[in-house]
Chains A and B, each alone.
Chain A
Amino acid sequence: GDSVTQMEGPVTLSEEAFLTINCTYTATGYPSLFWYVQYPGEGLQLLLKATKADDKGSNKGFEATYRKETTSFHLEKGSVQVSDSAVYFCALSDRYGNNRLAFGKGNQVVVIP
């Protein structure tokens, strides 16, 4: 079935550093792709999405581009802040499965002042 793979391990970086979190997917057809963010003690918030190849999703300084040729949807931010510390999940929407979401394992991001 459809699946999402995120890079292993937490990400620790200094304030104003560049952030990249890798995400690759396996899917039948052309799913929509999402990044969700989970702040401590809270639920999942939609960060950005892309619905077709070459689409770029963006929000709050974060960006990700739907790359069909490499089946990837990497998340980037040019200058992180302490408030960006959270867990980030990559997900795809299975259009053949009533749009259920398949999630990656998530990456803990810690931004140090």
Chain B
Amino acid sequence: DSGVTQTPKHLITATGQRVTLRCSPRSGDLSVYWYQQSLDQGLQFLIQYYNGEERAKGNILERFSAQQFPDLHSELNLSSLELGDSALYFCASREGRDTDTQYFGPGTRLTVL
């Protein structure tokens, strides 16, 4: 158990809908990273937050957004869903400013029908 929690574990929805994925980092970790794992693209970095502020953006679509709240949990919002958005979405938290090890949650499997 990494200490990072994600909910829900599975999500099935229809095209055009909007969903929210939730992540709670390990106690004391200020950084949260979101990644997408799909069969064709592999594991890709989406976005990073540090103590409530966006710090880095990767291959994140404009239909996707994220935020980190004062209690440090983070949410990834996916809207106008398409079939191609079906994937595993992971969040990870980083130990601290002086280390670069990330610990991953169990992931949310999103299926868009």
Contact = CB atoms under 8 A, between A and B. Distances in A.
Indicate whether A and B interact.
yes
Interface of A: 32, 34, 36, 42-46, 49, 51, 89, 93, 95, 97-106
Interface string B79-100: 0000000000010101000001
Given A98-B48, A100-B33, A100-B56, A32 B100 contact: yes
B45 interface: yes
B104 A100 contact: no
A89 B43 contact: yes
Given A43-B2, A98-B48, A100-B48, A106 B100 contact: no
Residue among A51, A95, A97, A104 with most chain B CB within 10 A = A97
A49 B95 CA distance: 14
A101 B92 CA distance: 10
Interface of B: 2, 31, 33, 35, 42-45, 48, 50, 55-56, 58, 90, 92, 94, 100-107
- 3 A-B pairs closest in CB distance: A98-B56, A103-B43, A44-B104
A97 to B, nearest CB: 6
A28 to B, nearest CB: 15
Given A43-B107, A44-B104, A46-B103, A101 B45 contact: yes
B56 A45 contact: no
A99 B94 contact: yes
A11 to B, nearest CB: 17
Nearest to B103: A46
Contact of B100 (A36, A42, A93): A93
